[in-house]
Amino acid sequence: MKKNRIIVTAFLINVMLLINSCQKGIDKPFVLAEESTSANNPNTQKGKKKVYVSNLDELYAAVNDPGNAGTEIILAHGTYVLNATYPNGGRLELQTDMTLRGQPGNSEAVLIDQSALPAASYITSSVSTGGVRLGRGTNGLEWLSVKGGTLSVNAFAVIAADLASAETSLKISHVKVYSNGTRIGIDLRNRLAEHTGRKIYADLAHNEITGFTSSLGFALAVFNVNNAIGAVIELNMTQNYIHGNKIGLITNNGAFNRTMENGVIEITSKADRLENNGCAIDPTGGGNQAPTTFSNNNTTTIKMFGSTIKNNNPAGVPELQPVNGALAGGVYAVGGFNSVNNIAGYNRASNNKMKLEFYGCDISNNNGADIYAYGAWCFPAAVLAGTNNILDIYLHGISANASVVVTQSEPAEPSGTNVVNVYR
């Protein structure tokens, strides 16, 4: 079983340089309509400036006004169809410390619809981005729905956290994210040298992300890549429902076409549901995808408490099959990988560490092994992905019932420094 990423390699290199809405009858098991998720959020402190908008002109005027930094923009009931004739190609790019808020108690009362945006709206400075952009200071999205761009324009992301900053805090809560043909739902990414050392602190709570079956099909992407040396992403997730996507959650400290070193990804999940995806979670400690680059000394830690990873890789749903070579099912984890299919890719992913901890999680019925675990993986022609890549998996409580298929290194590494450890 090989983690063949050739298809996505060429695609993502290009990306770095340059379905439909969920049905109304979908299960909404955990939305707590009366819960305020903003009590301790500085974006909604008493006395915070608020701007009320009720149409598209007012929305763009409020969001694009630098004088509204630190403001909470409150949207009236309705559908706001984004239009490329407005500034920033029609994208919504939040000012510093700005929050967009819909109607508390009803995430469907306000819809931000990107389906009229052209392909050019998803490109800025030759880099692909999202129709809604966050990343300046403390940004938030609350109590609304966001529908992505169409398949015909090859829209990149619905929500992206790539606005320029050295450090940013994000809160996305009670938001429904629909694909509509877009490739990625929420993109948390430190992407180039411009993000060297950048820190993203993100809180995602009570969101629903679904329908990402086009192209990449990532519901939630958490990436430090391409010379974002020393970048950090810390993500806290609580009671999110991620379903009906090719891949529910994907992580990587990746050298797609530039070296990536010392990246850090830390994710904590509490009572999340990752169900009925092609692959629920596809985490990688460090990955190299070019013959002249390296992915070394990166770390990824994922801790999950009471979350469910089940019923993924459902039979008879070919549109959910991952296109990046990930094995469909529950969790497909690799400490270090190298997808260069020639000898020039020899030994280019080393000293990467990944730790996965599951506490009381239901990991079951994933139509195959619940967890596929590799210390290292590469094409046989490359002989060796790298050395000293470590994957530790801890299964506590009912999590220990998960089936696990372990491969220390593919192909085998004579010195035995690429290791998978499973603790039950």
Domain edges within the chain: 6-19+41-423
pLDDT digits (tens, 9 = 90+) for 335-387: 999 988 778 778 999 999 999 999 999 999 999 999 999 999 997 777 789 99
Where does 10-98 show beta strands of DSSP type E?
Answer: 50-53, 72-75, 78-81, 92-93
Reply yes or no on whether the pLDDT at 208 is more than 90.
yes
**Beta carbons of 363 and 371 less than 8 angstroms apart:** yes
- Does the pLDDT value for residue 421 go beyond 90? yes
pLDDT > 90 in the chain, percent: 80
- Residue 342: the pLDDT is 76
Spatial distance between the Cα atoms of 318 and 146, rounded to a whole number of angstroms: 26
Return d(Cα 165, Cα 345) in angstroms, integer: 33
Three-state SS for 361? coil
Burial bucket for residue 90 (CB in 10 Å: 0-12, 13-18, 19+): buried
- 110 phi, psi to nearest 5 deg: -125, 125
What is d(CA 38, CA 46) in angstroms, rounded to the nearest whole number? 11
Query: How much of the chain is helix, strand and coil, in % rounded to 5?
Result: 10, 45, 45
Q: How far is residue 126 from each of residues 132, 227, 243, measured CA to CA in Å? A: 17, 17, 31
On average, the pLDDT of the chain sits at 89
Asked, as a colleague might, if the bond just before 411 is cis with ω within 30 of 0, I would say yes
Query: For residue 286, what are the contacts with CB-CB under 8 A and spacing of at least 6?
Result: 252, 253, 254, 255, 260, 263, 295, 296, 297, 298, 335, 336, 337, 349, 352, 389
Q: What is the pLDDT of residue 46?
A: 54
Distance between CA atoms of residues 199 and 97, nearest Å: 16
pLDDT tens per residue across span 117-162:
999 999 998 899 999 999 999 999 999 999 999 999 999 999 999 9
Asked whether the beta carbons of 307 and 271 are under 8 A apart, the reply is: yes
Amino acid identity, position 135: G
Q: What is the pLDDT of residue 32?
A: 32
Is the pTM here over 0.75, yes or no? Answer: yes
pLDDT (mean) for 197-223: 97
pLDDT interval class at 48 (50, 70, 90): confident
Q: How many CB atoms lie within 10 A of CB 290?
A: 21
CA dist 349 and 310 (Å) reads 31
* pLDDT > 50? residue 12: no
Q: How far apart are CA 399 and CA 307, in angstroms?
A: 10
Q: Given phi > 0 = left and psi -120 to 50 = alpha, else beta, which region is 329? A: left
Measured CA to CA, the distance from residue 177 to residue 209 in angstroms comes to 5
The pLDDT of residue 414 is: 87
pLDDT value, residue 75: 98
For 359, the 3-state DSSP assignment is: strand
- For residue 123, the one-letter residue type is I
Q: Report which of 302, 185, 176 is spatially closest to residue 246, judged by C-alpha positions.
A: 185
Q: How confident is the model at residue 267 (pLDDT cuts 50, 70, 90)?
A: very high
- Which candidate, 294, 302, 377, 368, places its Cα nearest to that of 335? 377
pLDDT at position 124 is 92
